[in-house]
Amino acid sequence: MPSKAAADTPLFAEREEWADVQPLEQYEGVNPIAPIFYSPEYKDATGYFRAIVQAGEKSARVLELTENIIRQNPAHYSAWCYRYETLLALLPPPAEDADAGAQPDIPPLLAAELALMDELAVTFLKTYQVWHHRRLLVPLARQPRRELAFIQRGLAVDAKNYHTWSYRQWLLAACYGRGAAADPAMPDAVLDEAAGVWAGELDFVDAALAQDVRNNSAWHHRFFVVYGARGQADSEAERARIFRRELIYTKQNIAIAPSNPSAWNYLRGVLRETNTPFAAVQDFARLYAYPHSADETRDVVDLDNPAPGADAELPCVQAMEFLADAWETEAGAEMWKSLANEHDTIRRQYWEHRIRDAHQTIKPAVE
Amino acid sequence: MSIKATSTDGFPTSTSRSQAETESVLLEHLPDPASSAATPVLQKNAHMQFLIRNLVQGFPTRYISQDASQPWLLFWTLQAFSVLQVALDPGNKQRCLEKIMAWQHPDGGFGGGPGQAAHLLPTYAAICALAIVGRPGPGGGWDEVDRKKMYAFFLSLKQKDGSFLVAHHSEVDVRGIYCLLTVATMLDILTPELVDGTAAFIASCQTYEGGFASASHPPFPVSGSVLPPPAPRPPLGEAHGGYTFCALASWVLLRPYMEQTAEPKPEIDLKNLMRWLVHMQGTEIELGGFKGRTNKLVDGCYAWWCGGAFALLEALGLGGIQNADSDEVPVDSGVAAGVWDDVDESLFNRNALQEYILYAGQHPAGGLRDKPPKNADAYHTLYCLSGLSSAQHHIYPSRVRKSQVLEAWEPSGWSLLYVPNENARKVAFAELLSWTEEEGGSHIVGGKANRLNATHPLTNLTITHTEALTAHYYAQKVPERIRTAPKADPAA
Ligand SMILES: [Zn+2]
For the stretch B185-208, pLDDT in tens is 999 999 999 999 999 999 999 999
Instruction: Give the mean model confidence (pLDDT) for residues B388-416.
Output: 90
- Among A231, A248, A281, residue at a domain's last position: A231
Of the pLDDT bands very low, low, confident and very high (cuts 50, 70, 90), residue B158 is very high
> CA-CA distance, B217 to A174, in Å (whole number)?
8
Whether A208 maps to a domain, the answer reads: yes
Predicted local distance difference test score (pLDDT) of residue A292: 87
The proportion of chain B whose per-residue pLDDT surpasses 90, expressed as a percent, equals: 81
Q: Could you tell me the CATH number of the domain that includes residue A247?
A: 1.25.40.120
Residue type, B285: I
Where among A231, A264, A283 does a domain terminate? A231
Q: What is the pLDDT of residue A83?
A: 98
pLDDT of A3: 40
State the average pLDDT over residues A268-291: 97
| 3-class state of residue B388 by DSSP | helix
Cβ-Cβ contacts under 8 Å, A136 against chain B: 169
On whether both A170 and A207 belong to a single domain, the answer is yes
Q: Which of A72, A81, A262 sits opposite B170 (nearest CB)?
A: A81
- Separation in Å, CA of A182 to nearest CA in chain B: 7
A322 and A220, same structural domain? no
Residue B99 contacts residue A33 (beta carbons within 8 Å):
yes
Same domain? A135 vs A205: no
Rg of chain B, C-alpha, whole Å:
22
Q: Note which residues in 5-44 of chain A have CB less than 8 A from chain B.
A: 24, 26-29, 31-39, 42
Most confident by average pLDDT, B317-326, B400-409, B411-420? B400-409
Q: Is a pLDDT exceeding 60 seen at residue B327?
A: no
Query: Are A137 and A147 part of one and the same domain?
Result: no
Predicted pLDDT at A307: 94
Per-residue pLDDT for B76 more than 80? yes
Best B204, B209, B343 residue to mutate vs chain A (most A CBs within 10 Å)? B209
Lowest average pLDDT, out of A163-167, A233-237, B239-243, B287-291, goes to: A233-237
Helix (H, G, I), strand (E, B) or coil at B59: strand
Give how many domains chain A has, as a whole number: 3
**Residue B341 scores a pLDDT above 70:** no
Same domain, A318 and A216: no
Which of A78, A124, A219, A342 to mutate against chain B (most B CBs within 10 Å)?
A: A78
Residue A129 has pLDDT above 50, yes or no: yes
> Whole-number mean pLDDT of chain B?
90
The answer as to whether A79 is a domain residue is yes
Q: Which residues of B touch A50 (CB under 8 A)?
A: 115
Instruction: Inspect the interface and report whether the beta carbons of B111 and A78 lie closer than 8 Å.
Output: yes
**Residue A75 located in a structural domain:** yes
List the single residue in B with minimal CA-CA distance to A52.
B115
Q: Which residues pair with B362 in a beta bridge?
A: B368
Number of H helices, E strands in chain B: 19, 4
Hey, are the CB atoms on B208 and A27 less than 8 Å from each other? no
Q: To the nearest whole angstrom, how far is the Cα of A214 from the nearest Cα of chain B?
A: 6
Catalytic machinery residues of B: 240, 293, 296, 299, 301-302, 370, 377, 380
Contact across the interface for B15 and A215, Cβ inside 8 Å = yes
- Ligand 1 centroid to Cα of residue A207, in Å, is 29
Q: Among all residues of chain A, which has the CA nearest to that of B215? A: A166
Q: Which pLDDT score is estimated for B260? A: 66
A158 interfaces chain B, CB cutoff of 8 Å: no
Per-residue pLDDT for B228 more than 80? Answer: no
pLDDT of residue B326: 45
Q: What is the mean pLDDT of residues B273-280?
A: 98
Q: Are the beta carbons of A29 and B102 separated by less than 8 Å?
A: yes
Q: What percent of chain B has pLDDT over 70?
A: 88
The answer, yes or no, to whether residue B384 has pLDDT greater than 60, is yes
Q: Do A220 and B238 touch (CB under 8 A)?
A: yes
For residues B283 and B294, the answer to whether their CB atoms sit within 8 Å is no
Give the nearest partner residue to A81 out of B169, B207, B352, using CB atoms: B169
Interface test with B, best of A165, A214, A253 (most B CBs within 10 A): A214
Q: Which residue of A has its CA nearest to B98?
A: A29
Q: Which of A141, A158, A183 is the last residue of a domain?
A: A141
A34 shares its domain with A55: yes
Tell whether A54 is covered by a domain. yes
Of residues A184, A216, A229, nearest to B293 (C-beta): A216
- CB A355 within 8 Å of CB A336: yes
Task: Give me the residue from B58, B68, B344 closest to A349, CB to CB.
Answer: B344
What's the rounded Cα separation, in Å, for the pair B235 and B243?
A: 11
Label residue B84 by pLDDT band (50, 70, 90). Answer: very high
**b or e along B421-440 (b: 16 or more beta carbons within 10 Å of the residue's beta carbon)?**
eeebbbbbbbbbbbbbbbee
CA pair distance B186, B182, nearest whole angstrom: 6
Residues A195 and A281 grouped into a single domain:
no
pLDDT on residue B225: 63
In a domain, A103, yes or no: no
For residues A151 and A284, state if they share a domain. Answer: no
Is residue A198 within 8 angstroms of chain B, CB to CB?
no
The pLDDT score that the predictor gives to residue B484 is 47
A270 located within any domain? yes
Residue A271 lies in a domain: yes
Mean pLDDT in residue range A166-195:
89
Diameter of chain A measured on Cα atoms: 90
Q: Does A214 sit within 8 Å of B295, measured CB to CB?
A: yes
In terms of domains, do A133 and A148 share one? no
Q: How confident is the model at residue B490 (pLDDT cuts 50, 70, 90)?
A: very low
Confidence check: pLDDT of B418 > 80: no
Distance from the Cα of B486 to chain A's closest Cα (Å) equals 26
Average pLDDT, chain A: 91
**Is some CB atom of chain B closer than 8 A to the CB atom of A88?**
no
Q: CB atoms < 10 A from the CB of B106, how many? A: 8
Average pLDDT over residues B55-68: 95
Q: How far is A214 from A258, CA to CA, in rounded Å?
A: 10
d(C-alpha A340, C-alpha A350), whole Å: 8
- Identify the pLDDT of residue B31: 86
Question: What is the domain extent for residue A274?
Answer: 238-293+304-366
Judgement on whether residues A313 and A331 belong to the same structural domain of the protein: yes
A94-98, A287-291, B283-287: segment of lowest average pLDDT: A94-98
pLDDT at residue A40 above 70?
yes
B230 CB neighbours in chain A (<8 A) are: 231
The CA-atom distances, in angstroms, between B213 and each of B172, B235, B237, B243, B297 are 12, 6, 5, 6, 18
Report for A29-33, A104-108, A137-141: range of highest mean pLDDT: A137-141
Contact partners, residue A125, CB within 8 Å, separation at least 6:
A154, A157, A158, A161, A163, A164
Using CB atoms and an 8 Å cut-off, which of residues 218-237 of chain A contact chain B? Answer: 219-220, 223-224, 227-231
Judged by a CB distance cut-off of 8 A, whether residue A139 touches chain B is yes
- Chain B residue numbers touching A209 (CB-CB < 8 A): none
Q: Report how far ligand 1's centroid is from the alpha carbon of A256 (Å).
A: 31
pLDDT (tens digit per residue) in A307-353: 999 999 999 999 999 999 999 888 999 999 999 999 999 999 999 99
pTM: 0.94
> What structural domains does chain B harbor?
40-474 (1.50.10.20)
Is residue A95 situated within a structural domain? no
Rounded Cα distance between B79 and B384, Å, is 12
Question: A119 and A11 in one domain?
Answer: yes
pLDDT band at residue B124, thresholds of 50, 70 and 90? very high
Q: Give me the mean pLDDT over the B127-138 stretch.
A: 97
Average pLDDT over residues A106-114: 95
Task: Give the C-alpha separation, B469 to A264, whole Å.
Answer: 45
**pLDDT tens track for B230-245:** 678 999 999 999 999 9
Higher pLDDT, residue B220 or A95: B220
Judge whether A48 is closer than 8 Å to chain B, CB to CB: no
Please check whether residues A68 and A25 belong to one and the same domain: yes
